[in-house]
Amino acid sequence: MSTAKKDETNDNRNAEANLLDPVALGNVLMHVAERSQPILQKFFEQHDMELDDSSIDPMDVRGAYLQFLQHLMSNPQKLFEMQMDFWQDWVALWQESAIKFMGGEGKELYKPDMGDRRFKSAMWQESAVFDFIKQSYLLTSRWMENAVQSTEGLDDATKQKLDFYTRQFINAMAPSNFLLTNPDVLQETLDSNGENLVRGLENLLEDLERGRISTTDYDAFVVGENLATTKGKVIFQNDLIQLLQYEATTDKVFKRPLLIVPPWINKFYILDLQQQNSFIKWLVDQGHTVFTISWVNPDKKLAQKRFEDYMEEGVFAALEQVKKITKELDCNCIGYCLGGTLLSTTLAWMAAKKKQDQIASATFLTTLIDFERSGEMKLFMDDAQIEVMEKSMTEKGYLDAGHLRKTFSLLRSNDLIWSFVINNYLMGKEPFPFDLLYWNDDATNMPAAMHSFYLRKCYRDNLLVKPGGVTMNGVDIDMTKVKTPCYFLSTKDDHIAPWQATYAATQLIKGPCTFTLAASGHVAGVINPPAKNKYCYWKNTKNPSSPYEWLDSAKAHDGSWWPDWQKWIEKQNNGKVVARKISGKALEDAPGSYVRMKAD
């Protein structure tokens, strides 16, 4: 072994020895206990904390695990084989780890998945102790997942539920989440004499008051000051919406205006974050006359607002105002997520009424119309859970914003829960200011009547794909009657609207459909300005019945999908006119007051 290699090995062993020194760590933890006592005492004096001892299990996880154990035990031969494989894997790991403990080059039998940031510290590889902890965790977690997947006799729904909650348990038990098994946290604890844990306790108590884990610096952003700053006016409002029109930045604009229908699960300014990543600002700079709906954050007074009301007081009211202001008979529309589901339903309603020529083209961003393969979100939409949600909505008049925020966090628990547990409470650091996460936490309520319809008709029963399965104000909805040219944008790593499910809409709508698949997820894949030159997207001139067949023959293109969409939308326009000015009768400056309304 070379002298340099020996020195490096000795340095690693010294670092490992320092981290695992029980006396030094014990002294630090005693110091932490002394520092923490007055902080805890003050907190409990100021707050009368009541613990929730509810035993409600709306997902019937206990029943699912009981089924799993029954089926597992019903085949003792297979169970024995699984256990033997498990122990053989453990023996192999012990053998390789022993070599490394003795200073040799043991093989790494279990590696984290690419992109798993929990084990990026060099100590997870260089330290024999932490390498063993890491690999034993990966071995056990993969065995648990395989046990669920390979157990015969379980129906698909039960297996999917088990798989999801097994992963939640596995993610929670990761060694990176605990002081004594995270080398970075141990090092910070020794270096700071435990001050990181004291700061972490203060952060934890602040989050208990806030009612959620902090994911960003909330003081770093103000809507209307450094978020949602594209210049415009509120030119109309009713109980459900404010309609915003944005100032032109070009001498000429496309003759056909553009209306955006955002989701009301979140606020519209995901499309207008900061100037450098604002989709709305980019649209204006491309020569579009842009209007967007800003939905109200509903309270109990709006409990009876229906899905039909969102169509009438939202889309129809906005279309009427756009027509009145621009004097144009039609416009292009963009619908994002739930806003896209509403837009597609509106198109079908208008087709039944012979009025669909009012919308010249429709763009759907990560939009579910066929909910059959809607992914893990569907796990939260069975009868038992819908009944629990409806009971809560009956009492409050709405589904509170926190419920959906927690659901979305569970879908990406390592990124949206555990990474912040480590950063905020173990490392004692403040979250980094991040506009996307500020927006993510600035959530909205959902009116009881509307949300009940959405849960039952769309997620549970998937009735939008069935002609006449849904009726809106006495009109049967039939997606196959829609002939409007459509552009579908989905994202490859979408955990809310899986692209395989959103692709199904191309087989429903009978107008010309262009499907584009972007890299990344539900938000980052959409909000991808060209200047960043990030990610890529896939295109295919054909739309076969299988999404996988579509992808197999699709061509990859570097960069943002925005310019590709711009080329498409230019073909849906009919020339240009002198840039339009906003009416002097505006109600207030953009982004308006509705977007500033906070959920209870």
Is the torsion defined by CA of 169, 174, 177, 181 positive or negative? Answer: positive
Q: Which residues contact 492 (CB under 8 A, 6 or more apart)?
A: 499, 517, 518, 519, 520, 525
Q: Clarify whether residues 350 and 494 are in a common domain.
A: yes
**DSSP 8-class letter at 223:** B
143, 161, 180 - which closes a domain: 180
In a domain, 193, yes or no: no
In a domain, 349, yes or no: yes
| Residue 29: per-residue pLDDT | 62
Rounded (5°) CA angle 2-8-11 = 140
Q: Clarify whether residues 123 and 260 are in a common domain.
A: no
Note down the domain range covering 513: 232-397+429-522+562-596
Whichever domain contains 325, its CATH number is 3.40.50.1820
Q: Clarify whether residues 391 and 268 are in a common domain.
A: yes
Q: Clarify whether residues 169 and 260 are in a common domain.
A: no
In a domain, 84, yes or no: yes
Residue pointed to by tokens 């279309």: 319
Q: Clarify whether residues 237 and 174 are in a common domain.
A: no
| Residue 54: per-residue pLDDT | 40
In a domain, 115, yes or no: yes
Q: Clarify whether residues 154 and 247 are in a common domain.
A: no
| Residue 81: per-residue pLDDT | 86
Is the torsion defined by CA of 223, 226, 229, 233 positive or negative? Answer: positive
143, 162, 180 - which closes a domain: 180
Q: Does 337 participate in catalysis according to the annotation?
A: yes
In a domain, 313, yes or no: yes
In a domain, 204, yes or no: no
| Residue 52: per-residue pLDDT | 44
Q: Clarify whether residues 157 and 269 are in a common domain.
A: no
Q: Clarify whether residues 169 and 269 are in a common domain.
A: no
Q: Clarify whether residues 155 and 79 are in a common domain.
A: yes
Give the 3-state secondary structure of residue 588: strand
161, 180, 199 - which closes a domain: 180
| Residue 58: per-residue pLDDT | 53
Q: Clarify whether residues 343 and 446 are in a common domain.
A: yes
C-alpha distance from residue 367 to each of 143, 262, 480 (Å): 35, 11, 17
Closest CA to 330 of 258, 252, 235, 250: 258
Q: How far is CA 83 from the centre of its chain?
A: 37
CB atoms within 10 A of CB 580: 16
Q: Clarify whether residues 169 and 293 are in a common domain.
A: no
| Residue 109: per-residue pLDDT | 94
What is the total count of domains within the chain? 2
Q: Which residues contact 306 (CB under 8 A, 6 or more apart)?
A: 449, 450, 453
- 433, 292 contact by CB (below 8 A): no
Give the integer Cα–Cα distance in Å for 252 and 82.
69
| Residue 53: per-residue pLDDT | 40
Give the integer Cα–Cα distance in Å for 291 and 245.
5
The structure's pTM equals: 0.89
What are the per-10-residue average pLDDT scores of the chain (600 residues)?
Answer: 50 61 65 67 57 48 74 80 90 93 89 91 92 94 90 81 90 93 94 93 90 92 97 97 98 97 96 97 98 96 96 98 96 97 97 94 97 87 85 90 86 92 96 94 93 93 95 96 97 95 96 97 96 94 96 97 98 93 90 90
**Active-site residue (options: 331, 333, 337, 458):** 337
- 541, 516 contact by CB (below 8 A): no
In a domain, 223, yes or no: no
In a domain, 271, yes or no: yes
Q: Clarify whether residues 126 and 270 are in a common domain.
A: no
| Residue 502: per-residue pLDDT | 97
Give the integer Cα–Cα distance in Å for 181 and 185.
8
